[in-house]
Amino acid sequence: MLIAAILSSVFINKEWILIVIWIFFGISFIVYISLYIYFSLKKPDYLRSEKHQIMTQAIQVLGDNEKAFNPNMEHIANIMSPYSKLKDKEQNPLLK
């Protein structure tokens, strides 16, 4: 939007078109900044990357250094690595 506003300022001679384009740019910029501030204060999870969210969910499921024991650890390992073998040398049921 900024590029369109700058290019129109250079190539268009009609002032009313320039005013309209700059108003649209200003409104979109204000909306963007307001939404960024709103989500940074109210729901910061929406601004985080997908990689960060996946790592946070993994810590919640597997546990961290304070909650390291999870009774489902063997099953979680099979889901995360479906190509691994089971203890009794059977093929993983996820591959069947």
Structure confidence by residue, pLDDT tens digits, 22-61: 898 899 999 999 999 999 999 888 888 888 777 777 777 7
Q: What is the pLDDT of residue 12?
A: 76
Write the CB contacts of 62 (distance below 8 Å, at least 6 apart in sequence).
Answer: 70, 73, 76
Q: Is the pTM above the cut of 0.75? A: no
* Domains: count for the chain: 2
Q: For residue 91, tell me if it sits in a domain.
A: no
Tokens of 57: 């969910």
Q: What is the pLDDT of residue 56?
A: 78
pLDDT exceeds cutoff 80 at 74: no
Grade residue 13 by pLDDT with cuts at 50, 70 and 90: confident
Higher pLDDT, 86 or 14: 14
Contact, 24 vs 1, CB < 8 A?
yes
Domain range for 78 is 49-84
Q: For residue 94, tell me if it sits in a domain.
A: no
- Indicate if 36 and 72 belong to the same structural domain: no
- Indicate if 57 and 25 belong to the same structural domain: no
Higher pLDDT, 60 or 79: 60
Q: For residue 92, tell me if it sits in a domain.
A: no
Q: For residue 95, tell me if it sits in a domain.
A: no
Q: For residue 90, tell me if it sits in a domain.
A: no
